[in-house]
Chains A and B, each alone.
Chain A
Amino acid sequence: ETGVTQTPRHLVMGMTNKKSLKCEQHLGHNAMYWYKQSAKKPLELMFVYNFKEQTENNSVPSRFSPECPNSSHLFLHLHTLQPEDSALYLCASSQDPGLAGGYNEQFFGPGTRLTVL
């Protein structure tokens, strides 16, 4: 596997379900990100992890719970979601800009298309 992978690619869940989205990067990066892409809205940054430490929580509701066990894996645990949470959830990774002396591009996974019924 190369690049950034996400599973599952599609997920349908009820409002009372608990599910998890998984992201894995094979690029040796140390920063990982969760984004939400809703219809007709810009991509919204949800969480940022740098060297496994959460450095950004962009006012995300507590029904979304991230977990980063190591620099290669990132999870998004979902519980009691609402229909308005239906969206494409994108994971990304990048090399810590401090090590490279600048800003590095983020590499994105294919996303998980989530539908909440």
Chain B
Amino acid sequence: AQKVTQAQTEISVVEKEDVTLDCVYETRDTTYYLFWYKQPPSGELVFLIRRNSFDEQNEISGRYSWNFQKSTSSFNFTITASQVVDSAVYFCALSRIIQGAQKLVFGQGTRLTINP
């Protein structure tokens, strides 16, 4: 069975602090993809990053960075120098292909609040 666990339900930090959102996944597939999405108050999920199971290189995009550790089945997300606009619910997701279409299994989400 596939499962994604985001143990942190809510995180609240002061602006400019660094914050890490944890994601742990379970899968028996050898090929899979991991995603992070951001859901601002407007409701739509915004794609942030995709990482495949064969690429364990960490990635940095501006203030965002991702740490993929296959040995611990984790795909953590760090925001450096957080800003109020980063406030949102963040979802980690695991993907597999079923009959040609992509099936995403989401974690519970972490509600991040950045206080001024």
Contact = CB atoms under 8 A, between A and B. Distances in A.
Contacts of A51: 100
The majority secondary structure among interface residues of chain B is strand
Given A42-B109, A105-B50, A97 B44 contact: no
Contact of B43 (A42, A88, A102): A88
Contact of A55 (B50, B95, B98, B106): B98
Question: Interface size bucket, B side?
Answer: 20 to 34
A25 B105 CA distance: 22
A90 interface: yes
B52 interface: yes
Interface of A: 4, 31, 33, 40-43, 45, 48-51, 55-56, 88, 90, 92, 94, 96-98, 102-111, 113
11 contacts: A31-B102, A42-B105, A42-B107, A45-B103, A48-B98, A48-B101, A50-B100, A50-B101, A55-B101, A110-B42, A110-B43
